[in-house]
């Protein structure tokens, strides 16, 4: 009876080991972790503000139908609705501004690292590379 060969799994990529690309990405994003958590918090607050409108409408309509008191309740509701909309848009603008800054800093840091890496290459390495290929790889952000 032939013996089955057991594959050596010591060289197999383990899922618990992060890939070099993942480590590099984490190195760029890690300094921005506080601002990223802030933007997640702002997104949650904005979602809650957007969800509060229908809930308030339900209360206002139910009380208005039962009590037939429209004027004072509707005035308060309209003020509250405008405040919720203003707050939601303000949070959205602040979140977008923070994410824009993070994006610009990440792009700048990656470009600086690419420039440093290219400057560290030998002249022989450049001799074997096509100018158009180098230019295309450096210029494209994709």
Tens-digit pLDDT profile for the chain (142 aa)?
Answer: 444 444 444 554 555 666 666 677 788 888 899 999 999 999 999 999 888 888 887 877 777 667 666 666 777 788 888 998 999 999 999 999 999 999 999 989 888 888 888 888 888 888 888 888 888 877 875 5
pLDDT of residue 3: 46
DSSP annotation string for 7-69: PP-TTSPPTTSPPHHHHHHHHHHGGGHHHHHHHHHHHHHHHHHHHHHHHHHHHHHHHHHHH--
Residue 98 in any domain: the answer is: yes
77 in any annotated domain: yes
Q: Is residue 68 part of a domain?
A: yes
Stated pTM of the model? 0.65
Q: 119 lies in a domain?
A: no
State the residue range of the domain holding 77: 21-106
pLDDT tens across 3-13, in order? 444 444 455 45
| 3 lies in some domain | no
Q: What pLDDT sits at residue 20?
A: 64
The answer to whether residue 126 is domain-embedded is no
State how far the alpha carbon of 38 is from the alpha carbons of 26, 42, 99, in Å.
18, 6, 10
For residue 68, the model assigns a pLDDT of 63
| CB neighbourhood size of 32 (10 A) | 19
Which pLDDT does position 49 carry in this prediction? 87
Phi and psi at 12, nearest 5°, equal: -70, 140
Domain presence at residue 16: no
Give the count of domains, the chain.
1
**Rounded Cα distance, 113 and 121, in Å:** 13
* pLDDT in the model for residue 65: 67
Evaluate whether residue 44 is within a structural domain: yes
In this prediction, residue 101 carries a pLDDT of 94
């Amino acid at each position: 009876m032939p013996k089955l060969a057991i594959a050596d799994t010591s060289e197999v990529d383990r899922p618990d080991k992060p890939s070099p690309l993942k480590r590099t990405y984490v190195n760029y994003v890690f300094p921005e972790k506080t601002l990223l958590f802030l933007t997640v918090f702002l997104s949650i607050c904005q979602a809650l503000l957007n969800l509060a409108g229908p809930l308030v409408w339900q209360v206002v309509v139910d009380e208005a139908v039962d009590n037939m008191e429209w004027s004072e309740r509707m005035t308060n509701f309209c003020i509250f609705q405008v405040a919720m909309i203003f707050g939601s848009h303000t949070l959205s603008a602040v979140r977008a501004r923070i994410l824009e800054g993070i994006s610009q800093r990440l792009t700048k840091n990656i470009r600086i690292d690419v420039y440093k890496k290219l400057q560290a290459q030998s002249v022989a390495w450049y001799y074997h590379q096509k100018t158009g290929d180098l230019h295309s790889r450096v210029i494209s952000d994709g």
